[in-house]
Amino acid sequence: MRYTFAIGDIHGCIDPLNRMIDRVEAYASEGTVVFLGDYVDRGPDSKSVLDRIIAGPSDPWRWICLKGNHEDLMVAAYADRDSRDVWIGIGIGGLETEMSYGGRVLPQHLQWAADLPFMHIDRYRIFVHAGVDPAFPPEQQSEHDLLWLRFPPGESSDYWGKHLVHGHTPSLSNPVTTGNRTNIDSGCVFGGKLSCAVFDDDVAGGPIDFIEVRA
């Protein structure tokens, strides 16, 4: 049996991330880990989170890192002044990120964040940071929806015959599966949990298990 593990929004919370990686590696001897984005901002140590994720997994694990809206904001902040004023000035966590670097974000971390993919699709599931618009096929999704979309409570769709896995919309009651959709942003940086959904790669549908660590 092979597993895919999807980990929700981390937001600079390095200790829960390290404990989650340990829990995942104790769950199985190998597999795929999909990080759903929002590694930076708000929390105390975005630099250490990026250091750990960029370092990558031990063999034979595979890690896939998706872009979140906060990585997008961080990259934009270093590209033009107006975006920097937004990132630093409206309380979304940019200041905390720069403090974790002792000044400015490392250029190699900015480049890594800029190059992240928006979506991962496997045999039975679609993984994104925020959501998708089911009115358009996967290849026609807008970057804005993939990074920023929020679902009304209870909403689900067919999602082209696959199960949708996302974060971005935090709730202390997450992780929650609603029809063909699972939200695993359980508000780690807001005093909740860091959550991971476990999927059997050979079985369609939602998670077979959840792994949770307290912030």
- Average pLDDT of the chain is 96
- pLDDT tier at 153 (50, 70, 90 boundaries)? confident
CB atoms within 10 A of CB 62: 13
Amino acid identity, position 11: H
Range with lowest mean pLDDT among 57-61, 84-88, 148-152? 84-88
**What is the domain-level CATH number for residue 92?**
3.60.21.10
pLDDT digits (tens, 9 = 90+) for 29-72: 999 999 999 999 999 999 999 999 999 999 999 999 999 999 99
Mean pLDDT of the 128-138 span: 97
What is the predicted pLDDT for the residue at 1? Answer: 86
Which of 107, 96, 86 lies closest to 189 in space, CA to CA?
96
Q: Which domain holds residue 96?
A: 3-214
Burial of 182 (0-12, 13-18, 19+ CB in 10 A): buried
Residue 180 DSSP one-character state = T
Question: What is the tally of structural domains in the chain?
Answer: 1
Structure tokens at 14: 């390095």
Residue 108 three-state SS: helix
* pLDDT at residue 143 greater than cutoff 90: yes
